[in-house]
Amino acid sequence: MKLKPGMFIPELLKHLFRRPSTVNYPFEKLIIPKDFRGTPILKTELCIVCRACVRDCPAVAIEIETLSEEEKKYKMTIHNDRCIHCAQCVESCPTKALYMDDSYEVATDNRWKLKFEYVYSRPKKANQ
């Protein structure tokens, strides 16, 4: 198709009086959509250490280390620098111990700041 000079003018005029489609970030904060997937956060009191989140994370961004077998003490590390924010860990968790927060300003010049560690004990059952 051959372009004629001036064929864009009607479209240009239409947009002159419309609000911009872009947002004014960072001068204005963004409105976060309801299902936004930010950083995975652990609710330690709900974790039963089944490791389904570790198994299913496609980015190998979750590690669970056993600190003490006797005391059932564990350390979960979430590597947010590796996380692709897919929320698969949240889907896979049988106890809803993980959720995605609404943080989006996570850029940093130091990747170690994106490593989150949780030390906790597995909840004991009533007959244990």
- Give the residues lining the site for ligand SF4 (CB under 6 A): 40, 42, 47-53, 57-59, 61-62, 78, 83-89, 92-93, 95, 97-98
CB of 12 to ligand SF4, least distance (A): 42
For ligand SF4, which is the closer residue by CB, 23 or 66?
Answer: 66
Give me the residue label for tokens 């709900």.
Answer: 46
Q: Cis (ω within 30 of 0) for the bond into 26?
A: yes
Min separation Cβ 38 and ligand SF4, Å: 9
| 106-110: long-range contacts, CB 8 A cutoff, minimum separation 24 | 106/38, 106/39, 106/80
2 contacts 72 by C-beta, under 8 angstroms: no
Q: How does DSSP classify residue 81?
A: T
Q: How far is the CB of 104 from ligand SF4 (least distance, A)?
A: 14
Cβ proximity to ligand SF4: between 29 and 66 the closer is: 66
Q: Give the Cα separation of 42 and 62 in Å (integer).
A: 11
Q: Which is nearer to ligand SF4, 32 or 84 (CB)?
A: 84
State the minimum distance, in angstroms, from the CB of residue 9 to ligand SF4. 47
